[in-house]
Amino acid sequence: MLSKILIYAIACWTGFLIMAVELLSGKILAPYFGSSIYVWGAIITVFMLALSLGYLLGGRYSMHNPTIRRLAGILCVASLLVLPIIFFGEPVMDWLFDTIRDPRYGSLAASAFLFFLPTTVAGMVSPYSVRLLTHRHEVSGQNAGTLYFASTLGSAAGTIMASFHLVLWFQLDHIFWGLIAISLALGLPVLLKGDPHEAK
C-alpha cells in the first residue's frame, strides 16, 4: 500500500512539475519573442514531442527490472535537468534572439534548448508507474486510469498554481528552485533507501 501511495504521489507531482515548467516557459520567452500564438504553438509543440519521446522511453525502460527506486531516480533526474534553465536560460535566450529573429523559429529553438530534456525525462514517469502498478492483466486498465487521473490532477494543479499564484509571489528562478527542491525531497529518500513495502 505504501508503494502505491508513493507511486501515485510521484506521478501526481511530476504532472505538476511538467505543467508548471511549461507555463513558466512562456514567461521566459516573452521578453524576447513575445507571447503570440506562434510562441505558444512552439512551446506546446516542443513539450508534446518531448512527452511523446518520454512515454516511449519510459515504457521501454519499465521492461527491465522495474523498481520504485528507479522511478524515484527518474523524477530526480528530471528535476536536476531544470537547473540549466536557471543557470543558462538568459545567455541562451540572448544568443538565440541575436541569431534567430523570427519569433516562430526562435521560440521553437529556445523551447527545444531549454525544456526538451527535462520534459522528456519527466514523461518517462507515467508509463513506468503503470508498469509498477500492474501485476495482473485484468486490472491494468484500472491501474492506468487511476494513475493518469493522479497525473492529470497534478498537471491541473501545476497549471493553476503557476499561472495564478506562483508568478505573483516569487521570481522565476525561485519558483524553479522550489520545484527542484520538492522533487528531490520526494524522490531522494525513495532513491537512497528504497521502499520496504514493494507493491504486490
| pLDDT score for 64 | 87
What is the per-residue pLDDT for 145? 86
Instruction: Average the pLDDT over 166-194 and give the result.
Output: 92
For residue 57, the surrounding DSSP H or E stretch is: helix 37-61
7-26 pLDDT tens trace:
999 999 999 999 999 999 99
Residue 140 resides in a domain: yes
Residue 8 within any structural domain of the chain: yes
Q: How many domains does the chain have?
A: 1
Query: Residue 196 above 60 pLDDT?
Result: no
Closest to 35 (Cα-Cα) out of 133, 107, 134, 135: 107
200 lies in some domain: no
At 182, the pLDDT band (50, 70, 90 cuts) reads very high
Of all residues in the chain, the percent with pLDDT exceeding 70 is: 94
Give the pLDDT score at 199. Answer: 42
Q: What angle do CA 142, 79, 112 make, to 5 degrees?
A: 95
69-75: average pLDDT: 94
What is the amino acid identity at position 115?
A: F
The parent domain of residue 45 ranges over: 2-193
Give the list of residues 6+ apart from residue 54 with CB closer than 8 angstroms, or none.
Answer: 119, 120, 121, 122, 123, 124, 125
For residue 199, is it within any domain?
no
Report the distance separating Cα 44 and Cα 28, nearest Å: 14
Q: Model-level pTM?
A: 0.89
CATH of the domain at 159: 1.20.1250.20
As a dihedral over the C-alpha atoms of residue 181, residue 187, residue 189, residue 192, rounded to 10 degrees, the angle is: -120
Sequence-distant (6+) residues with CB within 8 A of 158 are: 15, 16, 17, 18, 19, 20, 23
Q: What is the pLDDT of residue 192?
A: 85
**C-alpha cell at position 104:** 516562430
Over 70: is that where the pLDDT of 198 sits?
Answer: no
Residue 198 domain-assigned (yes or no): no
Residue 139: DSSP 8-state: G
